[in-house]
């Protein structure tokens, strides 16, 4: 399908930030976005790159009332020689369509998705910051927009991709997080939508995060919805434990988001000869392991930070301190190697990197 490009007038374009250290995350967007429409009869149609701006939607649009809204999160990286790379983009495309299927939304054509994304990133190439750890964040989104009430799958959809420069997550160095284990709230239940990037999951998590933050914690650790016994995720990231010499992470049971970073950590660690177990991990095993010193590192994984060390886990009135609140050697090695693969500084034996522009 042909993607029609309408460029923003020069005087309508935003000034590019000059100080990369103030970028932060998710507040600044580039001058254009990709958009495509879908209905049952035509399939995907009118795909275009257009000047960034508000969408005009009917107040009765299905997404506002019944939550047919899904998204993805990925990044484009600028290498030292100015090459531009994506990291495992086909994984995000596949995952978006898994989310779409669960929410009765149409699958996005993978070729149109990739093509639209590459064209948009290349059009906005100058926005991709240069500093190590900085990148261009890519947010594909799909919403049901039919204007009709009554709970039903929308007949019309918008798919769009917005992009914007983001700063390095570790502007002030690694600072191990303080995690609150919530027993009051659950993120996902068996048979639900925990494995999808469905917008409603994040709305449902806000109160738990807010309560944890009000108590001085960085994030919540979610337990399983059935027994409140097994560890699932931390905030909006997957979680790993170094237990003795082995890494362990919860298995993908349907209530856990299958992170691309999670999978990259597993593959990379296995390539070093490290055993990685994907299995149920109880919170009691975690607290006992931290206490007796068999668990020496805990970290979260996700696109935003790659890996983020956990320094404290608070459970049932006791604070369990991990590795004296310092980043551990395995966490640090994973961070460095994944970062170097993403920025084209290291051989990529896994074929994860997709170069979309040369130097």
Ligand X SMILES: *Cc1c(COP(=O)(O)O)cnc(C)c1O
For the bound state, the minimum distance from the C-beta of residue 74 to ligand X, rounded and expressed in Å, comes to 7
Using only C-alpha atoms, the chain has a radius of gyration, in whole angstroms, of 21
Of 219 and 237, nearer to ligand X (C-beta) is 237
> What's the token pair of residue 343?
């920025």
User: Is-contact 255 192, C-beta < 8 A?
Assistant: yes
According to the binding rule CB under 6 A, does residue 118 interact with ligand X?
A: no
The only residue of 129, 225, 302, 309 in contact with ligand X, by rule CB under 6 A: 302
For the bound state, the minimum distance from the C-beta of residue 264 to ligand X, rounded and expressed in Å, comes to 8
The only residue of 249, 303, 308, 323 in contact with ligand X, by rule CB under 6 A: 303
CA distance readout (Å), 34 to 89, 116, 308: 16, 6, 31
Of 49 and 138, nearer to ligand X (C-beta) is 138
Report the C-alpha gap between 180 and 216 in whole angstroms. 9
The only residue of 146, 156, 224, 233 in contact with ligand X, by rule CB under 6 A: 233
Of 97 and 238, nearer to ligand X (C-beta) is 238
> What's the token pair of residue 300?
């979260």
User: Is-contact 78 10, C-beta < 8 A?
Assistant: no
Of 73 and 110, nearer to ligand X (C-beta) is 73
According to the binding rule CB under 6 A, does residue 250 interact with ligand X?
A: no
Site for ligand X in 179-208 (CB under 6 A): 197
The only residue of 99, 209, 238, 308 in contact with ligand X, by rule CB under 6 A: 238
According to the binding rule CB under 6 A, does residue 89 interact with ligand X?
A: no
Report the C-alpha gap between 213 and 76 in whole angstroms. 30
According to the binding rule CB under 6 A, does residue 259 interact with ligand X?
A: yes
Report the C-alpha gap between 90 and 112 in whole angstroms. 12
Question: How many CB atoms lie under 10 A from the CB of residue 293?
Answer: 9
Distance, CA of 250 to chain centre: 17
Report the C-alpha gap between 1 and 157 in whole angstroms. 17
What is the crossing angle of helices 260-271 and 329-342, to 10°? 110
The only residue of 260, 266, 298, 305 in contact with ligand X, by rule CB under 6 A: 260
For the bound state, the minimum distance from the C-beta of residue 248 to ligand X, rounded and expressed in Å, comes to 17
User: Is-contact 235 219, C-beta < 8 A?
Assistant: yes
According to the binding rule CB under 6 A, does residue 262 interact with ligand X?
A: yes
Q: Which stretch binds ligand X (CB under 6 A): 31-39, 126-134, 229-237, 267-275?
A: 229-237
The only residue of 17, 73, 110, 153 in contact with ligand X, by rule CB under 6 A: 73
Report the C-alpha gap between 322 and 178 in whole angstroms. 10
Of 123 and 298, nearer to ligand X (C-beta) is 298
The DSSP line for 166-235 is E--TTTT----EEEEEESS--S--TTSSTTS-BHHHHHHHHHHHHHHHHTT-SEEEEEPTTTS-BEEEET
Of 68 and 92, nearer to ligand X (C-beta) is 92
Question: How many CB atoms lie under 10 A from the CB of residue 101?
Answer: 12
For the bound state, the minimum distance from the C-beta of residue 95 to ligand X, rounded and expressed in Å, comes to 7
Of 26 and 53, nearer to ligand X (C-beta) is 26
According to the binding rule CB under 6 A, does residue 261 interact with ligand X?
A: yes
According to the binding rule CB under 6 A, does residue 237 interact with ligand X?
A: yes
Q: Which stretch binds ligand X (CB under 6 A): 116-124, 156-164, 209-217, 258-266?
A: 258-266
Report the C-alpha gap between 195 and 97 in whole angstroms. 12
Of 38 and 197, nearer to ligand X (C-beta) is 197
Report the run of H or E that residue 336 belongs to, with start and end.
Answer: helix 329-342
The only residue of 103, 257, 268, 338 in contact with ligand X, by rule CB under 6 A: 257
For the bound state, the minimum distance from the C-beta of residue 262 to ligand X, rounded and expressed in Å, comes to 6
Binding residues for ligand X, per CB under 6 A?
Answer: 73, 197, 233, 236-238, 257, 259-262, 301-303
């Amino acid at each position: 399908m042909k993607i029609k490009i309408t460029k923003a007038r020069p005087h309508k374009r935003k000034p590019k930030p000059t100080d990369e250290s103030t970028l932060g995350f998710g507040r600044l967007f580039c001058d254009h976005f990709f958009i495509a429409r879908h209905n049952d009869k035509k399939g995907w149609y009118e795909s275009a790159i257009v000047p960034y701006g508000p969408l005009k939607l009917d107040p009765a649009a299905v997404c506002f009332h019944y939550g047919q809204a899904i998204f993805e999160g990925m990044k484009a990286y600028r290498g030292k020689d100015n090459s531009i790379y994506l990291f495992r983009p086909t994984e995000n495309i596949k995952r978006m369509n898994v989310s779409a299927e669960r929410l009765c939304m149409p699958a996005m054509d993978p070729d149109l998705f990739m093509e639209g994304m590459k064209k948009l990133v290349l059009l906005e190439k100058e926005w991709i910051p240069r500093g190590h750890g900085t990148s261009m964040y890519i947010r594909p989104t799909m919403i049901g927009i039919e204007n009709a009430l009554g709970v039903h799958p929308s007949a019309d959809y918008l798919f769009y991709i917005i992009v914007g420069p983001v700063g390095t997550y570790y502007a002030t160095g690694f600072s191990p997080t303080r995690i609150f284990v919530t027993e009051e709230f659950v993120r996902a239940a068996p048979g639900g939508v925990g494995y999808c990037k469905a917008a409603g999951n994040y709305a449902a998590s806000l109160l738990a995060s807010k309560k944890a933050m009000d108590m001085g914690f960085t994030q919540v650790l979610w337990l399983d919805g059935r027994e409140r016994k097994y560890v699932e995720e931390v905030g909006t990231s997957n979680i790993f434990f170094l237990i003795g010499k082995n890494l362990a992470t919860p298995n993908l049971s349907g209530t856990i988001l299958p992170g691309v970073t999670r999978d990259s950590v597993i593959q990379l660690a296995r390539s070093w000869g490290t055993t990685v177990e994907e299995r149920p991990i109880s919170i009691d095993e975690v607290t006992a392991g931290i206490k007796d010193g068999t668990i020496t590192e805990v970290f979260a994984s996700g696109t935003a930070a790659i890996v983020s060390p956990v320094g404290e886990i608070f459970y049932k009135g006791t604070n369990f301190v991990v590795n004296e609140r310092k980043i551990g050697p395995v966490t640090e090695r994973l961070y460095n190697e994944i970062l170097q693969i993403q920025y084209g500084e290291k051989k990529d034996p896994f074929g994860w990197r997709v170069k979309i522009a040369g130097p």
